[in-house]
Structure 1
Amino acid sequence: MRVKPRIAIAGFQHETNCFGTTMAGMAEFEMADSWPAMLHGDEVIAETRGMNLPVAGFAKAAEGAGMVLVPVQWCSAEPSAHVTDAAFETICGRLLDGLHAAGPLDGVFLDLHGAMVTETYADGEGEILRRVRALVGADLPIVVSLDLHANISAASVDLASYIAIFRTYPHLDMAETGARCVPVLQNLLAGKVLHKAFRQMEYLIPLHAQYTGATPGKQLYAALPHLEQGGVLADIALGFTAADFLDTRPSCVAYGPTAAAAVQAADRIAALFAELESQSEHPMLTPQQAAAIACQPRSGKLVVLADVQDNPGAGGTSDTTGLLAALAGAGAQGVLMGLFHDPQTAAAAHEAGRGGIFRAALGGRSGTSGDQPFEAEFQVVALGDGMCRYSGEMYGGGVATLGLTAALRLHGVEADITLVVTSIRNQCLDLAHFTHIGLQPEGFRTICVKSTAHFRADFEPVSSAVYPVAAPGVFPCDLGSFPYKNLHPDVKAAPAKA
């Protein structure tokens, strides 16, 4: 090993909703959305520096440790249906070409997601790792960061030297997870052997129930520091339920100084999962129940209604209107909603100009049963170019690209509802999604967000209560609504009842 080890770094991320409506092609990986556009070479470090991303955390810690970094590429596409074969082959080809051109290497860091499904490969990350391992050889350390919602295969664990996984949802520790790979890589380079153990669980946890500030996530992740005190590095993935293949399920990895220590830790985590199974189902409101709450008299902090089944961060279309229709029908007052993805309505608002009134059929184009466009008159409250600098903890330091954006208020009806419409899909997880266009959330009684849990980091401190709502969408949190075909026969799609 060189005095200053040369480490290649790269990222290729996608969270695949197998029941989604649109695929991720090259254009989706190349564009800027909630994360940066596709990055090459030195851009990988320069354009992510200071951001809460694994690649940024790894780069900062690795530079501090005296490693020489060889950045190759980094890209991410908004969650959607499958990654196209053309995009997968192109991006993998560039990754392998970059590694080959990097010259002598001492290690590789890969910033992956863990829930990528392509047209051909159900286990996208497993295929990426297979190709990288074939190129660099059996002995070169490959350390990997994965999302908390990863669906991990035994192949990925075998091929990677070490896997670190986010421990918070909302994902406040993405950069920290990348940084955790550095001391492990140093030990691997020094010849230390890590013994691996891997376990997969037998039930799925709905995404809105994976919030790590509540049961079961809170208890599961509280166990990890105790294991580390015993010399074992362990991590948990809660799984992404909208994928549909044999490895869709929660899992855990453990790395110990001995095989017995790793196995014991993995078994302990699996036993804890079994104990918590009956506590893994969280109730949701109907849109009508949510509207009734929005209409209740209140003073003090606002209430948050989470439209959890239309979360674009889980492959949702971000344009379903079930909750909006219920609120409007109930005559709800002081409501702020976002983000609705509707480029046509956003363009019409810009044409009408601020203060203008126009009629539109908003959203409702997902094809989801029970969903339809919301036809109404809207008054334009504010207009923007969609460049939104995040202010919250999760994405602070980054910039969301929303495209032409408009704040609209329902006109000519009893309900007082303001909503934000964008031209590019973006999960509403940061107060800046409203403040960047001049709206002040604290001035409203109720805020409705198209997000499952990420919004909690920024919205919970300003709210008195949070309610998940089961309006129609292409990301069902009621797991009985997914038409699964490829789950492992041992996996239950819903947890046991208490």
Structure 2
Amino acid sequence: MKIAVGGFQHETNTFAPTKADYAAFAEGGGWPPVSRGEEVLAAVAGMNLPIAGFTEAARTAGHQVVPLTWAAASPSSYVTEDAFERICGQIIDDLAGLRGVDAVYLDLHGAMVTEHFQDGEGEILRRVRATVGRDLPVVTSLDLHANVTPEIVALSDGLVIYRTYPHVDMAKTGERAFVLLSGLLQGRHYAKAYRQLPFLIPLTGGCTLIEPAASIYAALEEIEAEEGLASISFACGFGPADIHHCGPSLVAYGGDAAAAERAADRIQAMVAEQEAAFGGDILPAAEAVREARAIAAGRPGKPVVLADTQDNPGAGGDGDTVGLLEALVEQSAEGAVLGLLIDRESAERAHMAGADSTVRLELGAKSGQPGHKPLVADFKVLRLGDGAFTCTGPFYEGARMRLGPMALLELNGVQVAVASKKVQAADMEMFRHLGVEPTERPIVAVKSSVHFRAHFQPVAERVIVAAAPGPNPVDHSLLTYRNLRPGVRLMPAKG
């Protein structure tokens, strides 16, 4: 078979300060830059990405894979109309120019909001359908944080969603998408069951390494087998998106419609039973630091990891608020390190000053968020880096980072790793690039919500989620929604 493959990924926080223009996709934000045609396959080869997993599975099965365009950018505010039209236009133009295509696979996210469309993926699929017609099989993989709309379900023949957060199964999800597509290519027809759930889940509440998500996601494969389904998926949704269809959802596919509906009902009941547990635990920054210091003093040898979730670049933050850093400095958390703080100006000034120098900086708060101020001080420049390295952790495995000038700074015994390009701190190599071994530090603070857990949690004495300034509040009631459909609770109901 001849299968066209492409992808267009963005997770949109409509409350974030910075939009994703075409340049953001050209940089990639930790993933490969926008690629077209054969360069797509080289760009994603060996990486933990759905399109890489799908392509390998399809080729192993003897099919021809024809790449269109693949693009991704760091989560942020709206995708600009120009960026969307240019990238989506490439996908559609190349697809329209193909002959003899038997199927289409799209590596999408599911939470893209553009300046002109609330449902970016729905619009992509609408245009794909207008190009290839209704009869050609179209299968899509989505992020666990997809806000799955009725249009996405209606316009695709199959959706396969990640089952891990941290997303260590992205390539595996691509393989699962190929299996689902294979059934369609063999003439099978699947009934769909779709549910939208009535409350928003904070990012930290959906971590599959802890409850309640751990048990629910573990049950998917079991229920899938028991009901004889081709696939069942649960998406936690992406809460900081002010759109009509924001929120968690379920999608099931099976040859028997009753079995698909029954499976969806079973998972929905499990989620409802555990609703209160999805709220998650979080401590104010100063309290989180005090607790981390006490734990590190009492049980030295393994780091306490602090998650600066509300300024997570993986949730739309710019990674430049300094609230948690200030708490560490004020409490003289000797040996602690925070990263990555995104501030190109400060990184470049550190490079100009040179290693072993002292330089006065207005560190952070470059994105202009109201009420956010930089940390003004004389910092010691410990080490410098060019930002070029390859990640080794389970989430970013194989990702070739190009973060621009980087610097390790120190103030009052606390160190901070500064980078020039935005990416969430989910891999130890981001610290090791600057000579910091995270496993040897008493406290490691990361600007990440959950993805860091894949690499850091196995070596941590404890993980503490800290509440510091940023556009991804754990408590969605702090945000002003204008487009959310009626009846959806902004937070899980408390038990």
**Cα offset for 1:435?**
0.5
- Equivalent position of 2:261 in the other structure: 263
Q: Does 1:171 align with 2:167?
A: yes
CA deviation digits over 1:426-464, x for unaligned, max 9? 100000000122111223110000000000010011110
Q: Is the 8 A contact 2:224 2:263 kept in 1?
A: no
Q: What SS does the corresponding residue of 1:47 show, helix, strand or coil?
A: helix
Query: 1: CA distance between counterparts of 2:159 and 2:258?
Result: 19
- Equivalent position of 1:323 in the other structure: 324
TM-score normalised per structure 2: 0.97
- Equivalent position of 2:361 in the other structure: 360
What amino acid is aligned across from residue 189 of structure 2 in structure 1?
V
Select which of 182, 195, 200 maps to 1:199: 195
- Equivalent position of 2:14 in the other structure: 18
Query: What is the RMSD of the two structures over their aligned residues, measured on CA atoms?
Result: 1.1
1:216-227 superposed matches below 5 A: 216-227=212-223
Q: Does 1:438 align with 2:435?
A: yes
Q: Is the 8 A contact 1:370 1:472 kept in 2?
A: no
Q: Does 1:139 align with 2:124?
A: no
Q: Does 1:113 align with 2:109?
A: yes
**Cα offset for 1:368?**
4.0
Q: Does 1:247 align with 2:245?
A: yes
Query: 1: CA distance between counterparts of 2:318 and 2:252?
Result: 36
Give unmatched runs, 5+ long, in structure 2. Answer: none
Query: 2: CA distance between counterparts of 1:320 and 1:35?
Result: 23
Query: 2: CA distance between counterparts of 1:33 and 1:82?
Result: 15
What amino acid is aligned across from residue 70 of structure 2 in structure 1?
W
CA deviation digits over 1:102-130, x for unaligned, max 9? 21200000000000000110011001001
What amino acid is aligned across from residue 392 of structure 1 in structure 2?
G
- Equivalent position of 2:233 in the other structure: 235
CA deviation digits over 1:239-293, x for unaligned, max 9? 0011111110100100011111111111111111211112111121111102212
1:259-408 superposed matches below 5 A: 259-296=257-294, 297-298=297-298, 299-408=300-409
What amino acid is aligned across from residue 186 of structure 2 in structure 1?
A
**Cα offset for 1:369?**
5.0
Q: What SS does the corresponding residue of 1:226 show, helix, strand or coil?
A: helix
Q: Is the 8 A contact 2:386 2:405 kept in 1?
A: yes
Q: What SS does the corresponding residue of 1:45 show, helix, strand or coil?
A: helix
Q: Is the 8 A contact 2:343 2:366 kept in 1?
A: no
Query: 2: CA distance between counterparts of 1:294 and 1:305?
Result: 8
Count of aligned residue pairs for this structure pair = 490
Query: 2: CA distance between counterparts of 1:292 and 1:145?
Result: 42
Select which of 413, 417, 420 maps to 1:420: 417
Identity across matched positions, percent: 48
What amino acid is aligned across from residue 286 of structure 1 in structure 2?
P
CA deviation digits over 1:404-431, x for unaligned, max 9? 1111111xxxx31111111101100000
* Structure-2 change in CA distance of 1:479 and 1:150 (3 Å): same
CA deviation digits over 1:283-311, x for unaligned, max 9? 21111102212432231211001100000
What amino acid is aligned across from residue 472 of structure 1 in structure 2?
P
What amino acid is aligned across from residue 55 of structure 1 in structure 2?
I
What amino acid is aligned across from residue 52 of structure 2 in structure 1?
A
**Cα offset for 1:396?**
1.2
Q: Is the 8 A contact 2:28 2:71 kept in 1?
A: no
TM-score normalised per structure 1: 0.97
What amino acid is aligned across from residue 149 of structure 2 in structure 1?
S
Query: 1: CA distance between counterparts of 2:60 and 2:281?
Result: 46
What amino acid is aligned across from residue 252 of structure 2 in structure 1?
A
Query: 2: CA distance between counterparts of 1:343 and 1:114?
Result: 30
Q: Is the 8 A contact 2:29 2:72 kept in 1?
A: no
Q: Does 1:189 align with 2:193?
A: no
Q: Is the 8 A contact 1:339 1:449 kept in 2?
A: yes
**Cα offset for 1:177?**
0.2
Give unmatched runs, 5+ long, in structure 1. Answer: none
Q: Is the 8 A contact 2:17 2:369 kept in 1?
A: no
What amino acid is aligned across from residue 172 of structure 1 in structure 2?
V
What amino acid is aligned across from residue 302 of structure 1 in structure 2?
P
- Equivalent position of 2:25 in the other structure: 29
Q: What SS does the corresponding residue of 1:273 show, helix, strand or coil?
A: helix
What amino acid is aligned across from residue 466 of structure 2 in structure 1?
V
What amino acid is aligned across from residue 424 of structure 2 in structure 1?
Q
1:50-199 superposed matches below 5 A: 50-199=46-195
**Cα offset for 1:43?**
1.2
**Cα offset for 1:201?**
0.1
Q: What SS does the corresponding residue of 2:111 show, helix, strand or coil?
A: coil
**Cα offset for 1:371?**
2.7
Moved more, 439-448 or 248-257: 439-448
CA deviation digits over 1:214-240, x for unaligned, max 9? 122112212211222121120010000
What amino acid is aligned across from residue 494 of structure 1 in structure 2?
M
Moved more, 361-370 or 425-434: 361-370
Query: 2: CA distance between counterparts of 1:245 and 1:467?
Result: 30
Query: 1: CA distance between counterparts of 2:211 and 2:371?
Result: 31
Query: 1: CA distance between counterparts of 2:402 and 2:97?
Result: 32
Q: What SS does the corresponding residue of 1:306 show, helix, strand or coil?
A: strand
Q: Is the 8 A contact 1:295 1:333 kept in 2?
A: no
* Structure-2 change in CA distance of 1:221 and 1:294 (3 Å): closer
**Cα offset for 1:46?**
1.6
- Equivalent position of 2:491 in the other structure: 494
Q: Which runs of 4+ in 1 moved over 6 A?
A: none
Query: 2: CA distance between counterparts of 1:155 and 1:240?
Result: 17
Q: Is the 8 A contact 1:294 1:332 kept in 2?
A: no
- Equivalent position of 1:39 in the other structure: 35
Query: 1: CA distance between counterparts of 2:440 and 2:315?
Result: 29
Query: 1: CA distance between counterparts of 2:318 and 2:454?
Result: 22
**Cα offset for 1:135?**
0.7
CA deviation digits over 1:381-412, x for unaligned, max 9? 111111121011111112112111111111xx
